[in-house]
C-alpha cells in the first residue's frame, strides 16, 4: 500500500513537473503567434500606405504633365497654323471655347451707327495701333526681306512692322465706316483714310474688303450653323448664329501689339528711318 501510494505521488509529481516544463513553450508559442499577427498587420498597413502614397505621387505627376502638354499643344498649333513672329515666342497662345454673339436683331456696340462711343469701342480693340519695331534678326525669321524699311541704327535699328491681326481689324473698321449709313459722317470728319479723295478712298476700302476676304478663306471655319424655330404663331426656320468657336487669347495678343508701337509721328525725329540702300526702292505701290 505504502509503495503504491508512493508510486502515485511520484507519478503525479512527474505529471505536474511535465506541465510546468511545457508551460513556457506554450506561452512562447502564443506570444510568437501574437507577434506574427501584429507584424503581419503592420506590414499590411505599410503596404496600403505605400500604395496610397504612390497613387498620390502618380496623380500629382500626371496633373503636372497634363497642363504643360495642353499648353504645348496650343503653342504647336499656333506655330503650325500661322507665320512665325516674335509674338509667337513672347506670348503664350491659348485656345478656349467662345460663344459668338450672332444675334440678328440685337445690335452690340460694334454694329451701331457711327458715333464717338462706337469709334472708341473699335479703337479699344486695337484697330488704330501704330507700327512698331522688331529686331533685325526677328524680322528675317518672320519672313521680312533686308530691303524692307528699317529704323536708323542710331535709334536701335530693327524693322518697322504692324501686327497683321490689328491690320485686319483696321480694315474691317474702315469697311464699317464706308457703309452707306456711316459714310457721310466719316467723310465730313475727314480723318484717317477719309482725308483722301474718293478714288484713293475707294482703293483703300476695296483693299481692306479683299484682305478680310482672304483672311476668312485662309482661316475657313469648318463649324456648322443649326436652325431654330421662331414665331409661335407661324413657326419659321431661322439660322442660329450663336455658335461656339475655339479662339485664341486675343487680349494678350492685342496687349503685345499695343506695347510694340513706336512713338507717335510728331515725336519721331526726321532721321528715325534708315535711308534705303541701292536696289531697295521699288517703282510702284504694291
Residues 156 and 65 in one domain: no
Last residue of a domain, one of 81, 99, 121: 81
Residues 129 and 197 in one domain: yes
Q: What is the pLDDT of residue 51?
A: 79
> Which of the two residues, 214 and 28, has the higher pLDDT score?
214
Euclidean distance between CA atoms 27 and 13, whole angstroms:
21
Distances (CA, A) of 45 to 32, 57, 58, 60: 20, 18, 20, 22
Q: What is the pLDDT of residue 23?
A: 45
Residue 249 in domain: no
Residue 236 in domain: no
Q: pTM for this one?
A: 0.75
Euclidean distance between CA atoms 130 and 260, whole angstroms:
9
N-term to C-term CA, the chain: 143
Residues 64 and 132 in one domain: no
Residues 70 and 147 in one domain: no
Residues 162 and 211 in one domain: yes
Residue 255 in domain: no
Is residue 236 predicted with pLDDT exceeding 80? Answer: yes
Residues 40 and 116 in one domain: no
Is residue 21 predicted with pLDDT exceeding 60? Answer: no
Mean pLDDT, range 236-244, rounded to an integer: 97
Euclidean distance between CA atoms 241 and 223, whole angstroms:
11
Weakest mean pLDDT among 45-49, 147-151, 228-232, 265-269 = 45-49
Cα four-point dihedral sign 79, 83, 84, 85: negative
Residue 112 in domain: yes
- Closest listed residue to residue 124, CA positions, set 238, 251, 283: 251
Mean pLDDT, range 184-207, rounded to an integer: 98
Residue 250 in domain: no
Residues 111 and 39 in one domain: no
Q: What is the pLDDT of residue 52?
A: 77
Q: What percent of the chain has pLDDT over 90?
A: 73
Residue 54 in domain: yes
Kindly state the cell numbers that stand for 259. Answer: 506695347
Residues 29 and 130 in one domain: no
> Which of the two residues, 54 and 99, has the higher pLDDT score?
99
Residue 186 in domain: yes
Q: What is the pLDDT of residue 219?
A: 96
Distances (CA, A) of 150 to 8, 146, 157, 167, 216: 125, 9, 6, 19, 30
3-class DSSP string for the chain: CHHHHHHHHHHHHHHHHHHHHHHHHHHHHHHHHHHHHHHHHHHHHHHHHHHHHHHHHHHHHHHHHHHHHHHHHHHHHHHHHCCCCHHHHHCCCCEEEEECCCCCCCCCCCCCCCCHHHHHHHHHCCCCCCCEEECHHHHHHCCCCCCCCEECHHHCCCEEECCHHHHHHHHHHHHHHCCCCCHHHHHHHCCHHHHCCHHHHHHHHHHHHHHHHHHHHHCCCCCCCCEEEECCCCCEEEECCCCEEEEECHHHHHHHHHHHECCCHHHCCCCCECCCCCCCCCCCCC
CA 276 to chain centre: 39
Enclosing domain of residue 129: 84-91+107-219+260-267
- Closest listed residue to residue 160, CA positions, set 127, 192, 125, 135: 135
Do residues 117 and 185 lie in contact, with contact meaning Cβ atoms separated by under 8 Å? no
Is residue 220 predicted with pLDDT exceeding 80? Answer: yes
Mean pLDDT, range 115-119, rounded to an integer: 99
How many domains does the chain contain in total? 2
Residues 111 and 205 in one domain: yes
Residue 214 in domain: yes
Amino acid at each position: 500500500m505504502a509503495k503504491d501510494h508512493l508510486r502515485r505521488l511520484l507519478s503525479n509529481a512527474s505529471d505536474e513537473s511535465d506541465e510546468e516544463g511545457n508551460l513556457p513553450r506554450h506561452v512562447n508559442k502564443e506570444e510568437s503567434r501574437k507577434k506574427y499577427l501584429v507584424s503581419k498587420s503592420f506590414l499590411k498597413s505599410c503596404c496600403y500606405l505605400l500604395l496610397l502614397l504612390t497613387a498620390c505621387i502618380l496623380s500629382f505627376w500626371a496633373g503636372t504633365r497634363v497642363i504643360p502638354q495642353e499648353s504645348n499643344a496650343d503653342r504647336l498649333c499656333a506655330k503650325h497654323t500661322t507665320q512665325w513672329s516674335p509674338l509667337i515666342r513672347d506670348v503664350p497662345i491659348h485656345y478656349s471655347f467662345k460663344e459668338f454673339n450672332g444675334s440678328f436683331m440685337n445690335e452690340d456696340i460694334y454694329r451701331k451707327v457711327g458715333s464717338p462711343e462706337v469709334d472708341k469701342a473699335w479703337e479699344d480693340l486695337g484697330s488704330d495701333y501704330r507700327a512698331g519695331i522688331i529686331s533685325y534678326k526677328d524680322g528675317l525669321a518672320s519672313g521680312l526681306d533686308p530691303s524692307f524699311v528699317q529704323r536708323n541704327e542710331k535709334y536701335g535699328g530693327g524693322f518697322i512692322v504692324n501686327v497683321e491681326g490689328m491690320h485686319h481689324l483696321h480694315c474691317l473698321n474702315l469697311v464699317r465706316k464706308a457703309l452707306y449709313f456711316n459714310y457721310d459722317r466719316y467723310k465730313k470728319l475727314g480723318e484717317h483714310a477719309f482725308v483722301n479723295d474718293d478714288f484713293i478712298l475707294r482703293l483703300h476700302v476695296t483693299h481692306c474688303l479683299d484682305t478680310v476676304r482672304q483672311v476668312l478663306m485662309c482661316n475657313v471655319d469648318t463649324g456648322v450653323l443649326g436652325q431654330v424655330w421662331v414665331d409661335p404663331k407661324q413657326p419659321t426656320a431661322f439660322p442660329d448664329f450663336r455658335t461656339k468657336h475655339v479662339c485664341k487669347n486675343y487680349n494678350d495678343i492685342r496687349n503685345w501689339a499695343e506695347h510694340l508701337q513706336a512713338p507717335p509721328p510728331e515725336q519721331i525725329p526726321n532721321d528715325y528711318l534708315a535711308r534705303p540702300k541701292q536696289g531697295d526702292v521699288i517703282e510702284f505701290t504694291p
